[in-house]
Amino acid sequence: MSTGQARWRRVPPWAVDAGLVVLAALDAWINLYGEATPFMWACAALGCAVLFLRRRFPLAVFLLSLPMTLFMDVAVAPMAALYTLATRTRNRLLLAGCALLNATAGTLAWPLSGTFSGDGFPGDRTWTLIDFVYTLATAFVPILFGQLVQARHEVARQLVEVEVAREHERALYAQTVLARERAQLAREMHDVVSHQVSLIAVQAGALQVAAKDPDARDAARTIRTLSVNTLDELRHMVTLLRASGGKETELTPQPTLADLQQLIANSGIETTLTGGLPPGISTTAQRTVYRTVQEALTNVRKHAPGASADVHLWHDAHHFGVTITNTAPTRPSVALPSARHGLIGLKERAELLDGTLTAEPTPQGGYKTELRAPTRPA
């Protein structure tokens, strides 16, 4: 906004209206030629005074300014009324009708002024037609200008709405990014931290049973208790983070199939690894296979102590996957907190590959987890 526009907007509306009334009165006084009758003065006074109400009743103000145009060539009052009306309405027919009324009243000024003042003056049809066209064109000027101002205000309002919508969109995008980061953090906390802590709890439980020294048993019991409490707190944290998390997210850190042997070696479970995957599968697919094996082995430790597991990597012409099967447990399981977030996360990872994940008991009392996904180029 320019400095001039800023200064103009600081002028109070009543001051602008008062200035228009003064200009209209001066215009009427100059054009009241000859011997003006009291009726003419009354019409002029009414047409000027009603400009104070032009913002609230623009159509009524225009109609009340018409009588003064029958006796004089005034311009300020009717033009101001037409401009105000044009800034307040979209009715083009109404504006065209008002312009015609103003042109008609202005054209009739010459014969009617002679009638009211007593000065007879022959009418000239050609001059009347020219005067009508000129007055009509003059009336359309404030109408067009008023419509332009109205359009400008609407565009400015729409720009403000667009900017508000953009700010809202930016806020939603920021919330989406934050939700995805939270979901990523929740999944990685479950996959990595829960894997390690549950291993500590299982090993501490085994040490507590096997240790003969009372101090060693107490230390193992303390470690197991702290591990269980940590898993419980972790489960609550994962629940809170997943509550506002998105579904699709990039996964970090990024283990690959090269880390699978190390994962199995550190699992503490008797595990065999067989088969293989097709060459050139994507890094995302490798991470999904790794996390599936990791979660399955974690569940074996938690729910099937003493069981052995078989990890079979496979592929055919159209699909690839991994199947993890464990035997029945040989001893009672250690009670560890669980909210099944691991299987939920694995199903989401499988969906990212347009695949499926199934997890179900086996007839022999064990458990089987299988990831199946279509083969796609890396």
Quick one: pLDDT at residue 111? 46
For residue 103, which amino acid is it?
A
Per-residue model confidence (pLDDT) at position 115: 39
* pLDDT reported for residue 349: 80
Contact predicate 263/195, CB 8 Å = no
Q: State residue 7's pLDDT score.
A: 64
Amino acid present at 181: E
- pLDDT at res. 271: 92
Q: Count how many Cα atoms sit within 13 Å of the Cα of residue 166 in the half-sphere of its side chain.
A: 6
Q: Which residue has the tokens 């228009």?
A: 20
pLDDT at 10: 72
pLDDT tens, residue order, the chain (378 aa): 556 555 656 777 777 778 788 887 887 787 776 667 778 788 888 888 888 888 888 888 888 888 888 777 777 888 888 888 888 888 889 888 888 888 888 777 544 444 344 444 444 567 777 778 888 888 888 889 888 988 888 898 889 888 888 888 888 877 777 777 777 666 666 666 766 777 777 777 777 777 778 888 788 788 877 777 776 677 666 666 666 554 444 444 467 788 898 888 888 889 999 999 988 888 778 888 998 998 899 888 888 888 999 999 999 888 999 999 999 988 776 555 555 567 777 887 888 788 999 999 999 989 999 999 998 644
Question: Which class for 249: exposed (0-12), middle (13-18), buried (19 or more C-beta within 10 A)?
Answer: buried
Report in angstroms the alpha-carbon separations of 143 from 83, 96, 100, 138, 147: 5, 9, 12, 9, 6
- Inter-helix orientation angle 92-107/58-69, to 10°: 20
**Range 25-30, long-range pairs (CB < 8 A, 24+ positions):** 26/76, 27/74, 27/75, 27/76, 27/77, 28/68, 28/72, 28/74, 28/77
CA distances from 39 to 30, 32, 104, 116 (A): 17, 12, 20, 9
Give how far the C-alpha of residue 217 lies from the chain's centroid of Cα atoms, to the nearest Å: 58
Residue 357, pLDDT score: 92
Would you state the structure tokens that stand for residue 157, as one six-digit string? 């309002």
